[in-house]
Structure 1
Amino acid sequence: MTVWTIGQMVETTGKRVLDHLDHDATIPIITTAGAQGDVLVVRADDEEPATEEMPRTVVVVESEASANTHTLHPCGPAYWRALRLGEHYDVKVVGVLTVPAGSEVFLSHEEHGGLLVGEGTYQIRRQAEIGRPVLD
């Protein structure tokens, strides 16, 4: 896996982050599970892999009040399958992400910086504050 900084992520994806974030900070790599604000990334080895080539940007969670959205950005080939509400029980699964060997995918957010998703198949989930349901 490549070691990336926030500054390199911004340059590669074109998705800016807030100025107070250290652009020289190394981005954490997810290979099992990770969280970024409203988004959970959970390894799902028993999930059917996504097979549709991922576009340059996938909006995972769109902010209701600002431009602060969570987006996925592939570095190399990667695959995405968006899921409709109700395709999974009791969990707000937004989609399935499959990252083949040799590729990586950024999860980017203006306020949180970035996470790097490594090789594997993952469920991308929406989470909510305790006591506050996730609603569409």
Structure 2
Amino acid sequence: MSEEKSSFNVSQEYEIIPHQKGQAYPIGVKEWEYLKNKIKEVNIQINNFHTIGYLLLGASVSCLITIIATDFANDTSKYLTWAIFGVTAICGLLAIYFAKDKHQQESAKPTEIVNQMELIESRFENKKK
């Protein structure tokens, strides 16, 4: 009884698994280069929402400490400090929320995509160079 194996055996009994067949799109080199250059041109802005949010939250904490520690002579100063506290706290929390949301939208960076494209290119490099 002899068994026939359809895959290759390498030393230490590793089995090389062949690629599965599937559909593929042939794409020209010029079109590939065009896509790669367009992806390189994608510019992701630096997200300053975190910095702004934490600065605003720091200002709100400062106002809260002022409210707790200070004996105000009149009520207008106290109300003004409460208003500044409320506005800076709400704006700071919103800025941090938007920073998190923007970070989730930018999950794939253009450099990662270009690196993957160059890896694919290296598999098909022309040896005649």
TM norm. shorter chain > 0.5:
no
Q: TM-score range by the shorter chain?
A: under 0.3
Structure with the bigger percentage of helix: 2
Q: TM (normalized to structure 2)?
A: 0.19
Larger radius of gyration: 2
Q: TM (normalized to structure 1)?
A: 0.18
